[in-house]
């Protein structure tokens, strides 16, 4: 079953079935959507403790309009191109323009560069990683994951790291066949979690993700993953954490750049090619603690662990 937005008619159908005492799972089957969709619908769109389909639909339409990415002015795009051409990084451009009141995310800039390259442009040559960031293998398409929701559906507030509770997820591999490490990072505080799993299977990764984030469930709004098959259990994760899980574009690691950067720090403690069977859970926790207590420039040289605790207390 492919992902579909709930229509107004489906919302009235949900309301009627609720009044009849039908279970959430049965409602999902009758409405032809995943039960996690129904759970999120009821959580988001209750008015005074009751589900009202008219209010729910109006609220949904309002949210979609608010989340829709506005069209960036042509003048600003041209200025971005100019700064790229003099070797400014997307992060530098984003920071300067945001401080000047012309907010633009570095993820958007990377996508703009990738699009320019596809059209024969040369902006990518001004990136420090140059062609490496955009190299393509023999396969142009990532493997399909059932009911995957694209990052294009994600609210724009996530792009700019304005909200606490939006996470990125990835896996780090060791020597072939010795397991993997599931890593998750909160985008605003840069708080980092890591857990070793016996294999990169969807079942192992799904369980590890739920185990790691359940203690922080109240602070989980969205999770963004790549297109790896290990995230095929995304619907189970979304339901367990009452969150939305999105998938980045294929070959677009910069859309989860903070997590990628933290994984690079993890390599200081777990070298590439390490036999993960020799790495203990205590080793992983030690590395996680070191990373979370390391001051970061993007946080004003504060520690992710400290920032996360402050934000959790204020939430």
pTM: 0.60
pLDDT over 90 percentage in the chain:
43
CA distance 315 to 310: 9
Judge whether residue 205 has pLDDT over 90: yes
C-alpha dist (Å) from residue 80 to 3, 103, 110, 202, 255: 35, 12, 11, 39, 18
pLDDT category, 65, cuts 50, 70, 90?
A: low
> What are the tens digits of pLDDT across the range 224-251?
999 999 999 999 999 999 999 999 988 7
C-alpha dist (Å) from residue 110 to 76, 89, 141, 246: 15, 9, 19, 18
More confident residue, 128 or 166: 166
Average of per-residue pLDDT across 51-74? 72
Q: Average pLDDT of the chain?
A: 86
Tokens of 153: 């559906």
Fold of the 151-314 domain: Nucleotidyltransferase; domain 5 (3.30.420)
Calculate the dihedral angle through the C-alpha atoms of 297, 300, 302, 308, rounding to the nearest 10 degrees: -100
More confident residue, 115 or 277: 277
Domain boundary assignment for the chain: 8-67, 74-134, 151-314
Residue 135, pLDDT score: 45
Across 88-92, 113-117, 300-304, which has the greatest mean pLDDT? 300-304
Residue 142, pLDDT score: 47
């Amino acid at each position: 079953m492919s992902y579909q937005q709930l229509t107004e008619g489906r919302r009235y159908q949900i309301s009627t079935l609720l009044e009849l005492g039908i279970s959430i799972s049965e409602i999902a089957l009758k409405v032809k959507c995943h039960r996690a969709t129904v759970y999120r619908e009821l959580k988001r769109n209750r008015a005074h403790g009751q589900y009202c389909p008219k209010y729910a639909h109006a609220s949904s339409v309002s949210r979609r309009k608010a989340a829709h990415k506005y069209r960036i002015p042509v003048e600003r795009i041209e200025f971005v191109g100019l700064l790229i051409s003099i070797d400014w990084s997307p992060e530098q451009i984003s920071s300067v323009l945001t401080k000047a009141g012309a907010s633009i995310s570095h993820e958007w800039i990377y996508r703009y560069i990738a699009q320019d390259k596809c059209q024969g442009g040369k902006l990518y040559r001004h990136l420090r990683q140059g062609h490496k960031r955009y190299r393509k293998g023999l396969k142009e398409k990532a493997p399909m994951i059932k009911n995957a929701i694209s990052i294009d559906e994600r609210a724009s507030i996530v792009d700019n790291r304005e909200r606490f509770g939006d996470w990125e997820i990835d896996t780090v591999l060791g020597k072939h066949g010795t397991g993997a490490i599931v890593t998750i990072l909160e985008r605003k505080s840069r708080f980092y979690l890591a857990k070793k799993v016996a294999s990169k299977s969807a079942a192992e990764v799904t369980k590890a993700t739920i185990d790691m984030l359940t203690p922080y469930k109240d602070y989980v709004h969205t999770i963004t993953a790549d297109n790896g098959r290990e995230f095929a259990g995304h619907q189970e994760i979304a339901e367990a954490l009452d969150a939305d899980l999105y998938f980045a574009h294929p070959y677009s690691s910069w859309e989860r750049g903070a997590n990628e950067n933290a994984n690079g720090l993890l390599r200081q403690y777990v070298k590439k090619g390490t036999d993960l069977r020799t790495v203990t859970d205590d080793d992983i926790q030690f590395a996680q603690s070191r990373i979370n207590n390391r001051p970061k420039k993007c946080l004003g040289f504060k520690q992710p662990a400290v920032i996360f605790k402050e934000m959790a207390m204020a939430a």
